[in-house]
A and B are shown apart, each in its own frame.
Chain A
Amino acid sequence: MASTLAAALPHGHADGNTKATEDGASAGKRVLGLRCRECRQEYPIEPIHVCDFCFGPLEVRYDYELLARTVTHESIARGPLSIWRYHDLLPVEHLADTGWRVGFTPLQPAPNLGQALGLRDLWIKNDSVNPTFSFKDRVVAVASAKAREFGFDTFACASTGNLASAVAAAGIRVGLKTFVFLPWDTEQSKILNALVYGATLVAVKGTYDDVNRLCSEIADQHRWAFCNINVRPYYSEGSKTLAFETAEQLGWEAPDHVVVPIASGSLLTKIAKGFDELQQIGLIPQKGVRVSGAQATGCNPVAEAFEKGWDAIKPVQRPDTIAKSLAIGNPADGYYVLRIVREREGAVRQATNDEILEGMRLLASTEGVFAETAGGVAVAALQKLAREGIVRPDERVVVYITGNGLKTLDAVAPSLSPPPLVEPTLASFDAFLSQRETRA
């Protein structure tokens, strides 16, 4: 695909790279179609998401032999500083870079948090700094590009909160009308974050699972691109870029162990897939990346199944957690998460509301990163995994921080003390200081 990418990039691309110029694979060739993950039935590239026969999830098929011949570290490095540098490994036909910097977020060493947890080589993939402040910008960038390619004029989603603003903003960028469906108890800040872009928001009286079911039925009635329903096979591929970037930022090498928050579970499965693909096409050395997951105790269907050794997920009917972005009671990819985590020698751990808040504070106070509640879940789970020796002190560990703390201020506010109030005089400030020293 390198020549297509070269043509689309503002600066020259394909010259001086024999691997990249060997084939000049077109998008049509590198993306072969869709395939059912369960019964392997194949389908063309269309806005469909489940197998007609067994209802299994459809996944994008690529020509990995072609990609192995055409994609190089250099061809990627010449791409834009966004997810679109990995365009060859995404199911979008034409380079969809709108100039909007989605992805290529910092991978930062976390020595202080590492010290607190007894880990010597800990890194944070800080996805709280995307355009709408969560990793959802990645999946939405791919889904909105695909929605345009399919000729849709309306872009919609069922959201736990973060997806809402990502969809609303992307709609503006790519020129699609947007419909966003949310549970009615979604955080006010996330609702405002979507409304500000002018999206049509619909609050649904129910849980996220109710919203999701309603949207599945709406998607059957209206010819809209629902990013996590009928364009889900394409949308979810965007999460692979979190693995691609991690490997590239580590000098084209996979970490030993990753810790990922779980809502539907798609993020975790796609991060695992991302590392697999890089190995398959020869961009990183072969290595078994260990994969662990994190859930909130108030919505823990995957963690419970993992802990009890079940193969099936028992849905949670009424999620009750401050980590609302993870509050999916019936996670679509939960079954696959269990398989991946078990195969890759990881574990799933859960965090109570207090542990989530403590995780947020620990991350902020050690590394200066303010994560939303889902980040608190990830840090709290990492803490447990480290304490139990499942994440080992000598491993190179990456923990994924997927959303910004400013999105969940309501959750953190009650646990923080208000600042002291002083008169605008030195005397008043000195009195405050001496009082503080006395207390200390």
Chain B
Amino acid sequence: MPVKLRIPTPLRRLADGAAELNVEGATVTEVLTALEREHPGFRERLYDEQGEIRRFVNIYVAGEDIRFLKGLDTPLKEGDEVSIVPAVAGGA
């Protein structure tokens, strides 16, 4: 099912400058796999050498950090917004 994926500035070059993409997938992993298929290069930016999401990448589904949901297995429903957001922000 299609979900809306929000792309942060540092990764937009990989998506031909798009800030938002419609991507198919029933879970966050499926969406990221589909993203890599359509726009190669995302995977190595989002995952570390161990295959885990990088320490400084946050992923949100409908505004909720997937760490508080089911991680990369978090299920998605049609129209959900998935956001990739750099973790280094805020505070002082």
A and B held together in a complex: yes
Give chain A's interface residues, CB within 8 Å of chain B.
38, 49-57, 135-136, 139, 158, 160, 163, 206, 208-210, 212-213, 215-217, 220-221, 228-229, 232, 235-236, 238-239, 263-267, 312, 314-315, 317, 328, 330-333, 335
What separation, in Å, do the CA atoms of A54 and B83 have in the docked complex?
17
Known: A213-B63, A335-B55. A55 touches B87 (CB 8 A): yes
Known: A54-B54, A54-B56, A57-B56. A49 touches B88 (CB 8 A): yes
Residues of A within 8 A of B57 (CB): 55
- Which residue in chain A gives the minimum CB-CB distance to B83? A217
Which of the residues A136, A160, A216 comes within 8 Å of B89, measured between beta carbons? Answer: A216
Residues of A within 8 A of B63 (CB): 206, 210, 213
Within 19-40 of B, Cβ neighbours of A (below 8 Å) are at 19
What separation, in Å, do the CA atoms of A371 and B91 have in the docked complex?
19
User: How many residues of chain B are within 8 Å of chain A by beta carbon?
Assistant: 25
Task: Please name 10 pairs of A and B residues whose Cβ atoms are closer than 8 Å in the assembled complex, sorted by A.
Answer: A49-B88, A50-B88, A56-B56, A135-B92, A160-B91, A206-B63, A213-B83, A229-B89, A332-B88, A333-B88
What separation, in Å, do the CA atoms of A418 and B63 have in the docked complex?
43
Q: How many A-B contacts if CB must be within 8 Å?
A: 103
Please state if B8 and A332 are interface contacts (CB–CB under 8 Å): no
Please state if A216 and B86 are interface contacts (CB–CB under 8 Å): yes
* B70 interface residue (CB < 8 Å to A): no
* B77 interface residue (CB < 8 Å to A): no
What separation, in Å, do the CA atoms of A228 and B87 have in the docked complex?
12
Minimum CB–CB distance for B50 against chain A, Å: 12
Within 66-85 of B, Cβ neighbours of A (below 8 Å) are at 67-68, 83, 85
Known: A55-B56, A56-B56. A216 touches B91 (CB 8 A): no
Which of the residues A38, A52, A235 comes within 8 Å of B10, measured between beta carbons? Answer: A52
Residues of A within 8 A of B54 (CB): 54-55
Residues of A within 8 A of B6 (CB): 217
Which of the residues B9, B89, B92 comes within 8 Å of A163, measured between beta carbons? Answer: B92
Minimum CB–CB distance for B43 against chain A, Å: 13
- Which residue in chain B gives the minimum CB-CB distance to A331? B91
Residues of B within 8 A of A238 (CB): 92
- Which residue in chain A gives the minimum CB-CB distance to B85? A216
